[in-house]
Structure formats: structure tokens, C-alpha cells
Amino acid sequence: MRELLRTFFDATNVVSGSLYPTANLHFDEIWEVKMALENRAIEENSDLTVTIEYMRRKFNRYWKLTWLKISFLVIFYPRFKFGYIEFRLRKAFGNNADSKIATVKKLLKDLFKEYSQLTVGSEEATQQVADVQLITSTSGRYADWDIHMSLNATSTSELPSELDTYLAKPTIPRSGHFDVLAWWRSNSLEYPILSRMARDILVVPASSVASESAFSIGKRVIFDDRSRLAPETVEALVCRQDWIRASSKIFIYSICNYDALSLHENIL
């Protein structure tokens, strides 16, 4: 029982974090819970067989409802991308995995197409292409080259898209701390559309624990002797207190990491 509950405990700690993105970590933690339940369910002569079987059935019911949402987010994690999700879904669904993988691909392409249409500056890029075409000439030393380029202009549409380029590149090694939002920010010039998608998707917390914890202090802000505060004032008080607590935690975390790094350097 302790080993089983340890898996739930670790998953809860990771998913309910508030000082780092949790959307890209959700799938792995749920997968560990899934594996823990399935491995325990096949054990014989266990006093918890009935209980674990009930937990497994209930988990599978929620898995069928959420597998697409939690797996889609991992694509924007440069350490795994689409290959990792394809690998896991084939293990999870077996012979039915192809349809599940196709669903994830379709969702990714549709969302990428929607963001591409909303990308700022697309009209400017089109205008730049038109301006380049205006300077072509049918006479002079580059006449034959201009004609060749105009005839093969359609080949540019066959170039890999931003999404294909991102998925084709190798994944980042899984070593040390990795800030996924900082990575997308630093690579926004190479992946302008995908970086916007990642920014909108990865900032969504995997759990509502952090927000519920922040607003649970509302009863200490509004009570019988102070019940006429404006909604804007209450929101400011609650959010400010939560932000101050978060900033102090980040400061302490940074100090601890700095001390550990300094100690390591001194030892070396």
C-alpha cells in the first residue's frame, strides 16, 4: 500500500506545483499512476486486489475522457515531442493506437493552421514577396535566372513548414533543469507560430490546487466586520498576497540552488 500511495503522492506534488509549468508534466505523472495500478492489479494473493481493481476501473474511465488533452501538451515539450506520445499511445491502446495517433496529428495540424491564419505580419510577408517579384526582369545578365525562378516559384510551397521543422529536429537531452517556457521564448524567432501556441497552452496549470489554495484565504479577507469591500479590492488583496508568497518561495529556491552550486564548485 505504501508503494502504491507513493506514486499518487509524487504525482500530486508535481502536478499541483505553482512555481513552474505543469501542463507538459501532467501526462508522465498520470502514466506512472496508470502503470502502478496495472502492475498491482495482476499480482496474485494480494489483500488489496479488490480495491486496486476498483481503482483501476475508475482510472480507466477518466483516462478515456482525458488522454487526448494531456497527451497533446507533451508535443510542445522539446524533450519528448510527438515521438514520445506515439510511443506511449501504442502501449496504451495497442491495435487501436493508429486511430488515436491520427486524432492527435489532426488536432495539432488544425490548431497550427488556425494560429497561422492569426499570425501578425502575414500580410507584410506577402507584400515582401510581391515586391521581390516586381524587381525581376526579362533582360540583362540575370534574365535567364529570373525566368527560372519564376517558373519554379511553386516549389517554395513544398518546403517543410515550421511545425514539420520542429518535429524533425532531435529532442533535447533529459539532463538538468529545463525551463520549457524560457526555451520557447528564446526560440520564438525560429518558431514564431509554435511559440505562440506553446505560450497559450503551457501556461494553463494541470491542476486547480494552486488557484484554490490562493482564493481559500478569502474568508480571512471578508468576514462579518469587513464585508463591504469592492470586488476589485478583494481580488487585489488575494492576488497580491499570493504573489508575495510565490516571490518569496522563488527567492528561497534560488538562494538554495546558488548555495548548492557554490558548495559544489568549492568541492571541485
Q: What is the pLDDT of residues 20-69, one digit of tens each?
A: 889 999 999 999 999 988 887 655 556 778 888 888 899 999 999 999 99
pLDDT for the residue numbered 197: 93
* Burial of 199 per CB tally in 10 Å (0-12, 13-18, 19+): middle
What is the predicted pLDDT for the residue at 158? 46
Q: Return the pLDDT at 66.
A: 92
Q: What is the pLDDT of residue 251?
A: 52
226 SS3 class: strand
More confident residue, 242 or 152: 242
The total of other beta-carbon atoms located within 10 Å of residue 210's CB is 17
- 104 vs 75: CA distance, rounded Å: 10
Q: Over the stretch 137-169, which tens digit does the pLDDT of each residue have? A: 556 666 666 666 666 654 444 456 899 999 999
Going by pLDDT thresholds of 50, 70 and 90, the confidence category of residue 210 is confident
Do residues 193 and 119 lie in contact, with contact meaning Cβ atoms separated by under 8 Å? yes
pLDDT computed for residue 80 by the predictor: 92
Q: Which of 27, 28, 11, 23 is nearest to 184 (CA)?
A: 23
Task: Write the pLDDT tens digit of every residue in 212-231.
Answer: 777 777 777 777 777 788 88
C-alpha cell at 173: 537531452
